[in-house]
Amino acid sequence: MRVLDKRSPLPSLEYGKPCSCGKRFIDEVFAHMYVIMQEEGDLAPRDPLIAVGSPLIHPGMAMDRPPFLPAKSLLLLSGRVREKAARRIIIEVPEVRGVVKSADYIPGLVSLDPDESPRVYTLLAGCDVRADIYPLATGPLVVYKQQSLIHVEFPRAGYPKLRSVAAHVGTPPVPFFVDACSGPGTLGLAAACLGVPHVILNDAWYASAFWSAFNLNVNHVYMDTGEVHILRTLEDMARQPVVRDPVKIAETSGRQMIEVYQGDLRHLDQVIPRDAHPVAALDIFNKDNKKEVSDLISEWRVRIGGEAFIP
């Protein structure tokens, strides 16, 4: 195990091989990628190790120390890597499952205007799908996401958003829960696993809505549902990546009613009955903008009613 200074160049252009157990310390994996990117001209000789990019572990979970990585357990996001080096990394670095060209923006919708072009990252080599695991009393909630299309949100120690959802769901659970900005579905699926009879997951961005539906299917064993019906394909939804009026993407049969929509959260009154009084998680990006948060909650209460909270 060699711990390297991430803010300095690699001391020498060499790296250790994986252990006989098949794992290698993450710093050594980064040393391997650093050597390849220097050989291909993506990094300069004095670039620090951190310039390689950002590691996303698969499956992801809250960690208290840097990991030893098995095969195909790391997705690299990098603004410096080019296609030739990415192809070499996939072939030569066994721990890497995918290499994504990133940029200084969050992938996804730029605005809720359907006519404005969204921004995404580029998969250069390998696979850009990875999973995060969240502990619930009912079992591990597994959330897959396509990282070139969906923003990065790695599980944090203590899982504060899940604790916030559990507190608002309560015991016995509330009758109706809405995850209005669902991303890949973590909060809404957590509410469903905690026994809420009726849950709606919604996102205006097509990839988020699709992966919410996919993850509903992955985790429905923890819910009192029958079959999960996914009504749209990712390819079909990509033709209209941003939607204003809600379109149903998936639904369940069974005692628990779980629905997934793609649409602007401000138009969910089209699918939520006025007397439903749901508990709604509004997990927006700009939580630090107090006026935007206050205006959104006020508008939600006027349009939908019930209780709204920022997790």
Long-range contacts of 106-111 (CB under 8 A, 24+ apart): 106/151, 106/285, 107/148, 107/149, 107/150, 107/151, 108/149, 108/150, 108/151, 108/205, 108/207, 108/208, 109/204, 109/205, 109/241, 109/242
Q: Assess whether the previous peptide bond of 59 is cis (omega < 30° from 0).
A: yes
| pLDDT given at position 110 | 67
Q: Percent helix, strand, coil in the chain (nearest 5)? A: 30, 25, 45
The pLDDT profile of the chain, 311 residues, written as one tens digit per residue, is 899 999 999 999 999 999 999 999 999 999 999 999 999 999 999 999 999 999 999 999 999 899 999 999 999 999 999 999 999 999 999 999 999 999 999 898 766 666 677 899 999 999 999 999 999 988 999 999 999 999 988 788 889 999 999 999 999 999 999 999 999 999 999 999 999 999 999 999 999 999 999 999 999 999 999 899 999 999 999 999 999 999 999 999 889 999 999 999 999 999 999 899 999 999 988 787 888 889 999 999 999 999 999 99
Residue 23: CB atoms within 10 Å = 18
Q: Which amino acid is it at 20?
A: S
Residue 50 DSSP label: G
Q: Which residues pair with 142 in a beta bridge?
A: 133
d(CA 302, CA 304): 6
Domains, in order of start, for the chain: 24-102 (no CATH), 129-309 (3.40.50.150)
Q: Which two tokens stand for residue 67?
A: 């990991």
| pLDDT given at position 280 | 97
| pLDDT given at position 141 | 96
What does DSSP say about strands 122-126 and 96-101: parallel, antiparallel, or unpaired? antiparallel
| pLDDT given at position 2 | 94
| pLDDT given at position 287 | 80
For the chain, strand residue ranges (E) read 24-25, 54-57, 68-69, 74-78, 96-101, 122-126, 129-136, 139-146, 176-179, 198-203, 228-230, 247-252, 257-262, 279-281, 307-309
| pLDDT given at position 116 | 74
Nearest in space to 282 (alpha carbons), one of 221, 203, 228, 166:
203
Model-level pTM? 0.93
Residues whose CB is less than 8 angstroms from the CB of residue 9 and which lie 6 or more positions away in sequence, other chains included = 45, 46, 47, 48, 49
| pLDDT given at position 89 | 98
CA-to-CA dists, residue 121 to 76, 77, 149, angstroms: 12, 9, 6
| pLDDT given at position 134 | 94
**92 close to 29: Cβ distance less than 8 angstroms:** no
| pLDDT given at position 284 | 86
Residue 209: CB atoms within 10 Å = 31
d(CA 109, CA 185): 17
DSSP string, 126-138: E--EEEEEEEETT
